[in-house]
């Protein structure tokens, strides 16, 4: 698959070659509507079936540590303060003070105005510009941008929002698509915005912040829409497709994530390029998170279970995983007072 | 380590309290069989599970007379609501002992625990619940007012869904007011015998259900017994044919649920990932030991390569191995004999020029196993496109137009099931009309429900199981036209006097 | 003044045409007093074979016709039969030796039976079908459909027209096509009924009538692999158990012989006997 010439193309070349022309509404519609549909019953049944896998003993131990390393530890509240963010960063670096062997999370995810605070708090452990050596996982800073969560602002505002965060040191930008434009059929507009945001992710030194494209699947409503939006986001150059902002119910579900993983799998078959997937919101227990690991492993392959290809957007998940981890380490059940609140 | 090599997750056998020997269940008690006992083995290990009794002619006779006695003395006199209460009790007891039954079924049959746990046993309970509620509503069964039960039902069931087939047979028979003599398949008697214990716990009157074990000759003796009024058989078409011959000219009402070679038709506008799942469910569910399996994949030529590529990738994630492991997708082939048949037909497929591909699986040392396999480049004239293999072997054919798809799908003496995958509703409904099969699954496959009638066209048999129609198979109209000389295939007889009737009915 | 009558040549009715038996054989049809009435074609196994071919090729069109259309076609038979009452009464009186009142009662009953069954064509599916409340996100519907080609041994008793109509009408309701072996000793009204069918709107091949010896022809129909069902209603005097055994080779649906005045009494069960219940599942989802 990696022999596909599409692998060497720039995103815009690749999109043009696949959709057979400019990214106009009409061309995109023709392409996106040519993608096979989804039967919701079958999709949900498959997800439920994957959810019955029984992950025990050594597999579970591996899964627990893997989950921690895939978490984007998140705080996205109007009430966020520098203190809250510093506390979050501390938790990201040392999730379990009682066990120094506990891995770090992948990233902290904050609003754009908190990026600087997070970068400072991470210090040498920050992914970009950090000084910690090999063997230690450095932690990324992800910023939500583009008038998160609604995305209802002018393009100029959205791009300024992105540039601010990148300039403040964000390693990753979690943008939202314009669901209104998507639902109205203005696929070209959605596409162009993603391209513009990707461009705004470029730093002065020429490097580029990773772009996660939030589809807000709860608002897209149907699986066919999710699938088309996934293709659209990838065509436009997104590095990750992400389910939700966490501000709209339903947020991530296993069937939605499965449908997005299927797109990522098909994109890899087609182009040889690997795209990441981030379910966000609603995943609160290690039992649920393990179902996602199983779904990733059996849909795209376990090579996807690395931070640059899969993330959990979550806040309370970490503590449940830590409780499970303590249980596996000590052999007895732990309690909420034995994990830190953030 | 590889995450996908999930660590073993075996279901515990601790809740099983199996005996080393099982007798026949006749007239409410276990009794020694007079034939030569045989061993039942775990097909995944070839280890003996228990010794099972063989019912000889005298035992069959005893079972039939116990059923007759119970019919005359108790069951036919009981109110419908009381019969229903017994069935509800049975349903609840099955639920209570569900895990135990699932483990026992997996041990004896070789099918994965996730199927016995999530499909077989829940459907057993559902079947008894469904028919329990029918017992006092027989007027609405479609046979006219005050329909009558038939008497003693002789039931012979296969090894692929042992306890589920038992439920499909016993629940409607008892709801309708019949008594039963049931013979499970030789290789899978165990759960029927555990079920006998459940009947004791339910305090079902003695003789209402009798379970006799043995090989095919025991079954033959049972269906030929002059004391039975109804014969219900699920199994191979060749045995079904022999039974149809043997009951010819008798008063015995007959239901046959036989073989199949189901077509699973995938159009280029299908929801492709769900179609691939449906193909997998259609042929690899229960190791393909399914009479309604989608064993012939008819895929539109324009998407053939894509579908096969997706299917092969998906098949690589199927986990073959210890049936008791909760992550096993493909269990053991039920018997050495069946494995031989699957191998023979597969080798024949290769000789005929079809291209064979099997998923990479580590085949355990002991037991009977067959890796999930597909044949491409199959022609309609190949044996593997016509004969029921009854194993995890898929024959892939292509079509170019809807008309060709219908013609190929119907080009078989069988007519049990078919599947169609398309996003176009009008095409699906038209296909559903034109496919000559008793069960059509559209954008799904291998779904079962007690309220949904199941059964075949053509050489896949006749009569229905499930739903109102499955109940009617165990009933006859209250007033029989005296002139009918043999067991009439009558479901409703509004008239006995012809002159009056036409006018009356015409009103 | 006496006009010299023109007697009719009674032939077979196959595929909408009236061929002689390919065997060239005929047999004498006698009145109840033993007088010569006609030479009827003595159908052979090859005639039966041709009839099955005709029935099979007519099946798609007849089964695929709308129920409303089938009902109208069956009703049309009653209309045309009504118009030819006199002919049928004459034939019945001469071959069965009954008086005009009895013969006309039989014809009336036969006409009414067509009407009764005609009305079922667009109703039996509703009565015998079901929507099934399965426990899952599925639309699930069971509907009866025609079994296919039905071979019938017509009642061999006294009421030759009524017996024939009673046997073939219910099979036609659902959309089956029929090969019927007529009453051996009183075949005239069968062929005359063929003429009615040929001039009504019944497509050729939907009903095929073979006269001759049921004992000779029935085994070929019972064993014919392209016959889907066998109605032995008039086979009581034949070795019908053997026929049933033979039919088991391809798992044909079989109705046993009936005798007496109730034979083939009108009933929904006779329609349903030659239907197959088909259950269709379809996924349901708005997402």
Indicate which CATH number applies to the domain containing B202: 3.40.605.10
Residues on chain B touching A50 (C-beta within 8 angstroms): none
Q: Do residues B191 and B272 both lie within one domain? A: no
- Assign residue B274 the CATH number of its domain: 3.40.309.10
Same domain, yes or no: B200 and B278? no
pLDDT digits 0-9 by tens, B328-384: 999 999 999 999 999 999 999 999 999 999 999 999 999 999 999 999 999 999 999
Residue A335 falls inside a structural domain: no
The answer to whether residue C12 is domain-embedded is no
Burial (CB < 10 A; 0-12, 13-18, 19+), residue A303, is exposed
How many domains is chain A built from?
A: 1
With CA atoms as reference, report the closest residue to C106 among C118, C96, C119. C96
In this complex, which of C112, C248, C257 lies closest to B245 when CB atoms are compared? C248
- What's the CATH number where A247 sits? 3.20.20.70
Is residue B468 in a domain? no
Which residue, B209, B240, B257, sits at the end of a domain? B257
Report pLDDT digits (tens) over A70-97: 999 999 999 999 999 999 999 999 999 9
Instruction: Sheet with B21-22: list strands edge to edge.
Output: B21-22, B47-52, B38-42
Over B209-227, what HEC string results? EEECCCCHHHHHHHHHCCC
Residue B288 lies in a domain: yes
- Residue A245 within a domain: yes
DSSP-assigned letter for residue B287: G
- Whether the Cβ atoms of residue C258 and residue C266 lie closer than 8 Å to each other: no
Whole-prediction pTM? 0.94
Tell me if C286 and A40 make a contact (CB, 8 A cut-off).
yes
Cβ(A228)–Cβ(A191) below 8 Å:
no
Position of tokens 């079901």? C130
Could you write out the DSSP letters of every residue in A139-199? BEEEEE-SSTTTT-S-HHHHHHHHHHHHHTT-SEEEEE--HHHHHTT-HHHHHHHHHHHHH
- The answer as to whether C238 is a domain residue is yes
What pLDDT, on a 0 to 100 scale, did the predictor assign at position B503?
A: 36
What distances in angstroms separate CA B122 from CA A117, B447, B450, C5, one per listed residue?
55, 13, 11, 77
Verify that B248 and B284 share a domain, yes or no: no
| pLDDT over 80 (residue A132) | no
> Assign residue C94 a region: left if phi > 0, alpha if psi is -120 to 50, beta otherwise?
alpha
Chain C, residues 99-118, CB within 8 A of chain B, namely: 109, 112-113, 115-116
Helix axes A40-50, A286-299, angle to 10 degrees: 110
**Could you tell me which residues are beta bridge partners of residue B58?**
none
Distance between CA atoms of B57 and B34, rounded to whole angstroms? 9
Specify whether A174 is catalytic.
yes
How far is residue C270's CA from residue B257's CA, in Å, rounded to a whole number?
A: 22
Q: At what angle do helices B190-201 and B98-109 cross, to 10 degrees?
A: 160
Instruction: Please report how the helices A155-167 and A187-200 are oriented relative to each other, as an axis angle in degrees rounded to 10.
Output: 30
How far from A12 is each of A22, A168, A254, CA to CA, in Å? 9, 27, 31
Residues B111 and B185 in one domain: yes
Are residue B90 and residue B161 in the same domain, yes or no? yes
Kindly list the catalytic residues of B. Answer: 257, 291
Do residue C265 and residue B244 have CB atoms under 8 angstroms apart? no
Residue B428 located in a structural domain: yes
Q: Which of B277, B448, C54, B147 is nearest to A46 (CA)?
A: B277
In this prediction, residue A295 carries a pLDDT of: 98
Q: Of the candidates A42, A222, A223, which has its C-beta nearest C283's C-beta?
A: A42
**Do residue B131 and residue B84 come from a single domain?**
yes
The 3-state secondary structure of chain C, one letter per residue: CCCCCCCCCECCEECCECCCCCCCCEEEEECCCCCEEEEEECCCHHHHHHHHHHHHHHHHHHHHCCHHHHHHHHHHHHHHHHHCHHHHHHHHHHHHCCCHHHHHHHHHHHHHHHHHHHHHCCCHHHHHCEECCCCCCEEEEEEEEECCEEEEECCCCCCHHHHHHHHHHHHHHCCCEEEEECCCCCCHHHHHHHHHHHHCCCCCCCEEEECCCHHHHHHHHHHCCCCCEEECCCCCCCCHHHHHHHHHHHCCEEECCECCCCCCCCCHHHHHCCEEEEEEEEECCCC
Whether residue A339 is contained in a domain is answered as: no
B38 to each of A125, A167, B49, B169, B437, how far by Cα in Å?
Answer: 70, 79, 11, 24, 38
Same domain, B284 and B243: no
* CATH number, domain containing residue C63: 3.40.605.10
Residues above pLDDT 70, as percent of chain A: 98
Mutate to test the interface with C, among B502, B504, B505, B506 (most CBs of C within 10 A): B502
Interface of B with C in 360-399 (CB under 8 A): none
CB contacts, 8 Å: B277 with chain A: 42, 45-46
pLDDT of residue A136: 75
- B237 contact C CB<8A: yes
Same domain, B321 and B418: yes
C67 vs C64, C206, C273, CA distance in Å? 9, 15, 18
pLDDT value for B125:
98
- Interacting residues of B491 by C-beta distance below 8 A, sequence separation 6+: B142, B143, B472, B477, C128, C268, C269, C272, C273
* Contact in structure between B304 and B456 (CB atoms under 8 Å): no
Domain presence at residue A131: yes
How is B29-71 classified by DSSP, letter by letter?
Answer: EEE--SS--EEEEETTTTEEEEEE----HHHHHHHHHHHHHHH
CA nearest C230: which of B472, B248, B142, B497?
B248
Is B316 a domain residue? Answer: yes
pLDDT of residue C158: 87
Asked whether C20 and C11 are in contact (CB, 8 A), the reply is yes
Residue B478: name the closest of B251, B176, B147 by CA. B147
DSSP B320: B
Per-residue pLDDT of chain C (287 residues; tens, 9 = 90+): 689 988 888 999 999 999 999 999 999 999 989 999 999 999 999 999 999 999 999 999 999 999 999 999 999 999 999 999 999 999 999 999 999 999 999 999 999 999 999 999 999 999 999 999 999 999 999 999 999 999 999 999 889 999 999 999 999 999 999 999 999 999 999 999 999 999 999 999 999 999 999 999 999 999 999 999 999 999 999 999 999 999 999 999 999 999 887 789 999 999 999 999 999 999 999 98
Buried-state track B83-98, b at ≥16 Cβ within 10 A, e below 16: bbbbbbbbbbbbbebb
| B314 and B240 share one domain | no
Q: Work out the minimum CA distance from C68 to partner chain B, whole angstroms.
A: 17
- Cβ contact C283–A40 (<8 Å): yes
Q: What's the pLDDT score for residue B257?
A: 97
By residue range, what is the domain housing residue A101?
5-329
pLDDT at C8: 87
B87 and B211 co-located in one domain: yes
Asked whether the beta carbons of C220 and C43 are under 8 A apart, the reply is no
Token code pair at residue B362: 């580590």
Which candidate from C112, C142, C145 shows the least CB-CB separation from B469? C142
Structure-model confidence comparison of residues C158 and A227, the more confident one:
A227
Instruction: For chain C, say whether B14 makes contact (Cβ under 8 Å).
Output: no
Sign of CA dihedral B389, B391, B393, B395: positive
> Which among A91, A212, A278, A291 is annotated as catalytic?
A278
Task: Mark whether A291 is an active-site residue.
Answer: no
Q: Does C188 reside within a domain?
A: yes
Say how many domains are in chain B.
2
- The tally of domains found in chain C comes to 1
Confidence label for A3 from pLDDT (cuts 50, 70 and 90):
low
Q: Do B7 and A53 touch (CB under 8 A)?
A: no
Q: What are phi and psi of B399, to 5 degrees?
A: -140, 160
8 Å CB contact between B24 and B59: yes
Residue A342 within a domain: no
Closest listed residue to residue B263, CA positions, set B286, B238, B292, B305: B292
Pick the residue from chain C with its C-alpha nearest to B126.
Answer: C135
Q: What stretch of H or E contains B439?
A: strand B439-442
Q: Which residue among B237, B257, B277 closes a domain?
A: B257
Mutate to test the interface with B, among C251, C274, C283, C284 (most CBs of B within 10 A): C251
For residue B351, give its domain range. Answer: 263-452
Q: Are residues B77 and B198 in the same domain?
A: yes
Instruction: Over range A115-123, report the average pLDDT.
Output: 97
How does pLDDT run across C71-85, given as a tens digit for each residue?
999 999 999 999 999
Within-domain flag for A340: no
What average pLDDT is seen over chain A?
Answer: 95
Axis crossing angle, helix B272-284 with helix A40-50, rounded to the nearest 10: 60
Whether the upstream peptide bond of residue A159 has omega within 30° of 0, thus cis, is no
Q: What is the pLDDT of residue B338?
A: 97
A278: tokens are 């981030």
Confirm or reject contact between A40 and chain C (CB < 8 A): yes
Q: Are B431 and B448 in contact (CB under 8 A)?
A: no
User: Within a domain: residue B482?
Assistant: no
Neighbours of A165 (CB within 10 A): 30
Assigned domain for A54 exists: yes
Helix/strand/coil for B280: helix
Q: Which domain holds residue C235?
A: 26-283
Same domain for B233 and B166? yes
* Residues recorded for chain C: 287
DSSP label at B382?
S
pLDDT score of A8: 86
Q: What is the ipTM of this complex?
A: 0.95
pLDDT for the residue numbered B479 = 63
B62 in Cβ contact with B32 (< 8 Å): no
| Residue C274 lies inside a defined structural domain of this protein | yes
Phi, psi at C164, each rounded to 5°: -65, -50
Hey, are the CB atoms on B495 and C115 less than 8 Å from each other?
no
Do B218 and B212 contact (CB within 8 A), yes or no? Answer: yes
Low-confidence ranges of chain B (pLDDT < 70): 1, 479-507
Angle, helix C100-120 to helix C85-96, in steps of 10 degrees: 120
Please, are residues B325 and B115 in contact by the beta-carbon 8 Å criterion?
no
> CB count, 10 Å around CB of B2?
9
């Amino acid at each position: 698959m990696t022999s596909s010439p599409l692998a060497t193309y720039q995103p815009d070349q690749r999109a043009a070659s696949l959709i057979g022309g400019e990214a106009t509404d009409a061309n995109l519609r023709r392409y996106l509507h040519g993608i096979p549909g989804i039967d919701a019953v079958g999709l949900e049944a498959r997800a439920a079936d994957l959810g019955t896998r029984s992950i025990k003993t050594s597999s579970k131990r591996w899964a627990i540590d893997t989950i921690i390393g895939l978490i984007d530890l998140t705080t996205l509240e109007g009430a966020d303060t520098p203190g809250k963010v510093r506390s979050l960063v501390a938790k990201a670096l040392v999730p379990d003070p009682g066990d120094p062997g506990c891995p770090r999370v992948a990233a902290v995810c904050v609003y754009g105005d908190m990026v600087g605070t997070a970068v400072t708090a991470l210090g040498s452990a920050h992914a970009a510009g950090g000084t910690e050596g090999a063997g230690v996982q450095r932690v990324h800073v992800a910023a939500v941008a583009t008038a998160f969560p609604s995305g209802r602002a002018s393009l100029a505002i959205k791009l300024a929002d992105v540039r601010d965060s990148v300039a403040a040191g964000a390693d990753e930008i979690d943008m939202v698509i314009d669901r209104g434009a998507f639902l109205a059929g203005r696929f070209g507009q959605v596409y162009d915005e993603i391209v513009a945001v990707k461009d705004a992710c470029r730093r002065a030194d020429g490097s580029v912040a990773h772009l996660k494209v939030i589809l807000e699947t709860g608002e897209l409503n149907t699986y066919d829409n999710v699938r088309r939006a996934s293709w659209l986001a990838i065509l436009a150059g997104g590095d990750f497709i992400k389910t939700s902002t966490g501000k709209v119910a339903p947020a991530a579900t296993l069937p939605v994530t499965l449908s997005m993983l299927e797109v990522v799998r098909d994109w890899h078959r087609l182009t040889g390029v690997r795209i990441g997937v981030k379910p966000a919101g609603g995943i609160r227990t290690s039992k649920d998170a393990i179902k996602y690991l199983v779904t990733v492993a059996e849909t795209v392959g376990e090579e996807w279970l690395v931070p640059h290809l899969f993330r959990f957007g979550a806040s309370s998940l970490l503590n449940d995983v830590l409780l499970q981890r303590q249980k596996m380490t000590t052999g007895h059940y732990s309690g909420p007072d034995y994990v830190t609140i953030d | 380590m590889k995450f996908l090599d999930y660590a073993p997750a075996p279901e515990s056998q601790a809740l099983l309290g199996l005996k080393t020997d099982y007798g026949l269940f006749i007239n409410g008690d276990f009794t020694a069989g007079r034939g030569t006992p045989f061993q039942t083995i775990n097909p995944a290990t070839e280890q003996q599970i228990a010794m099972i009794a063989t019912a000889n002619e005298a035992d069959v006779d005893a079972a039939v007379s116990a059923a007759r006695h119970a019919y005359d003395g108790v069951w036919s006199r009981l109110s419908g609501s009381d019969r229903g209460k017994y069935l509800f009790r049975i349903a609840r007891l099955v639920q209570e002992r569900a895990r135990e039954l699932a483990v026992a079924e997996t041990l004896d049959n070789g099918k994965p625990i996730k199927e016995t746990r999530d499909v077989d046993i829940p459907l057993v309970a559902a079947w008894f619940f469904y028919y329990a509620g029918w017992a006092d509503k027989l007027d609405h069964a479609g046979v006219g007012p005050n329909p009558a039960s038939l008497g003693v039902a002789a039931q012979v069931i296969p090894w692929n869904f042992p306890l589920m087939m038992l439920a499909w047979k016993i629940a409607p028979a008892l709801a309708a007011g019949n008594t039963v003599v049931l013979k499970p398949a030789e290789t899978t008697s165990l759960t029927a015998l555990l079920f006998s214990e459940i009947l004791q716990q339910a305090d079902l009157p003695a003789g209402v259900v009798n379970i006799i074990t043995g090989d095919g000759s025991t079954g033959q003796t049972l269906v030929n017994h002059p004391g039975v009024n109804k014969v219900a058989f699920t199994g191979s078409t060749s045995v079904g044919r022999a039974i149809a011959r043997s009951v010819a000219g008798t008063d015995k009402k007959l239901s046959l649920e036989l073989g199949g070679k189901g077509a699973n038709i995938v159009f280029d506008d299908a929801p492709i990932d769900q179609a691939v799942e449906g193909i997998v469910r259609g042929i690899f569910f229960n190791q393909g030991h399914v009479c309604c399996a989608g064993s012939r994949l008819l895929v539109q030529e324009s998407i053939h390569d894509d579908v096969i590529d997706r299917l092969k990738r998906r098949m690589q994630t199927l986990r073959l191995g210890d049936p008791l492991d909760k992550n096993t997708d493909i269990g053991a082939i039920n018997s050495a004999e069946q494995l031989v048949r699957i191998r023979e037909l597969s080798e024949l497929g290769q000789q005929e020029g079809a291209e064979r591909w099997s998923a990479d699986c580590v085949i355990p040392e002991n037991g009977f196993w067959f890796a999930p396999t597909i044949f491409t480049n199959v022609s309609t004239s190949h044996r593997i496109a016509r004969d029921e293999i009854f194993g995890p072997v898929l024959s892939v054919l292509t079509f170019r137009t809807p008309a060709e798809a219908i013609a190929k799908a119907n080009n078989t003496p069988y007519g049990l099931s078919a599947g169609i995958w398309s996003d176009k509703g009008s095409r699906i409904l038209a296909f559903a009309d034109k496919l000559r099969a008793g069960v059509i699954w559209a954008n799904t496959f291998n779904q079962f429900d007690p309220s949904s009638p199941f059964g075949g066209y053509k050489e896949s048999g006749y009569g229905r199981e499930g739903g109102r129609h499955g109940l009617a198979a165990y009933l006859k109209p209250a007033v029989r036209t005296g002139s009918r000389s043999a067991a009439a295939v009558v479901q409703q007889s509004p008239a006995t006097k012809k002159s009056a009737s036409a006018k009356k009915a015409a009103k | 003044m006496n006009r010299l009558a023109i007697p009719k040549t009674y032939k077979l009715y196959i595929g909408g045409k009236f061929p002689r038996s390919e065997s060239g054989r005929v047999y004498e049809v006698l009145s109840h007093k033993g007088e010569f009435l006609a030479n009827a074609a003595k159908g052979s196994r090859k005639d039966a074979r041709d009839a099955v071919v005709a029935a099979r090729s007519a099946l798609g069109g007849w089964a695929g016709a709308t129920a409303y259309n089938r009902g109208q076609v069956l009703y049309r038979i009653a209309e045309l039969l009504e118009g030819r009452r006199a002919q049928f009464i004459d034939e019945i009186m001469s071959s069965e030796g009954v008086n005009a009142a009895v013969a006309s009662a039989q014809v009336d009953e036969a006409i009414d039976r067509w009407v009764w069954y005609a009305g079922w064509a667009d109703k039996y599916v509703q009565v015998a079908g079901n929507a099934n409340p399965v426990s899952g996100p599925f639309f699930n519907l069971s509907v009866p459909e025609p079994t296919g080609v039905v071979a019938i041994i017509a009642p061999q008793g006294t009421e030759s027209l009524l017996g024939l109509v009673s046997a073939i009408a219910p099979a036609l309701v659902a959309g089956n096509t029929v090969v019927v072996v007529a009453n051996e000793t009183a075949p005239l009204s069968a062929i005359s009924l063929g003429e009615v069918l040929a001039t009504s709107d019944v497509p050729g091949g939907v009903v095929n009538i073979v006269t001759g010896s049921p004992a000779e022809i029935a085994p070929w129909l019972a064993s014919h692999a392209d016959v889907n069902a066998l109605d032995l209603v008039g086979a009581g005097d034949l070795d019908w158990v053997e026929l049933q055994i033979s039919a088991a080779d391809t798992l044909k649906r079989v109705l046993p012989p009936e005798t007496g005045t109730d034979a083939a009494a009108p009933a929904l069960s006779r329609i349903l006997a030659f239907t197959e219940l088909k259950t269709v599942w379809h996924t349901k989802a708005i997402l």
